[in-house]
Amino acid sequence: MDLENQKRIKALADEFGAENVIVILGGAEAEASGLACETVTTGDPTFAGPLAGVQLGLSCYHVVEDAIKEAVDPAVYEEQIGMMEMVLDVDAIKAEMQQYREEPVEA
């Protein structure tokens, strides 16, 4: 996750409270999505950005996960994401994201 996005997410969490912010990712690879999720939950693992050492503990999902898919109008989802689902390793992405939601965030 680039430094500018880290800065924006931190500002939103500070303004609205971490409990009121959900991050929805759309990366094409499970590992990259996992790293982005790690960044907004436990902090930037590279220790290079605004979230270095900052544990926001934000809820984080990928757009192909069922919880997001069910929350979106089916026609809109199909138009915007349907093709993407056919070429991504959706199961790997779901597993990676679930792993980060299950790991406890240390205070």
Cβ contact 33:23 at 8 Å: no
The reported pLDDT for the residue numbered 107 is 44
Q: What is the mean pLDDT of residues 79-94?
A: 94
Residue 40 lies in a domain: yes
Q: How far is CA 64 from CA 36, 40, 41, 59, 94, in A?
A: 15, 18, 19, 15, 8
In which domain, by residue range, is 8 found?
Answer: 3-102
Task: Give per-residue pLDDT as tens, 56-83.
Answer: 999 999 999 999 999 999 999 999 999 9
Per the structure, the count of domains in the chain is 1
The reported pLDDT for the residue numbered 87 is 94
Q: What is the mean pLDDT of the chain?
A: 93
Residue 107 lies in a domain: no
Residue 73 lies in a domain: yes
Residue 42 lies in a domain: yes
Residue 8 lies in a domain: yes
Alpha-carbon 92 to chain mean position: 14
The reported pLDDT for the residue numbered 100 is 83
Q: Is 12 exposed, middle or buried (0-12, 13-18, 19+ CB in 10 A)?
A: middle
0.85 surpassed by pTM: yes
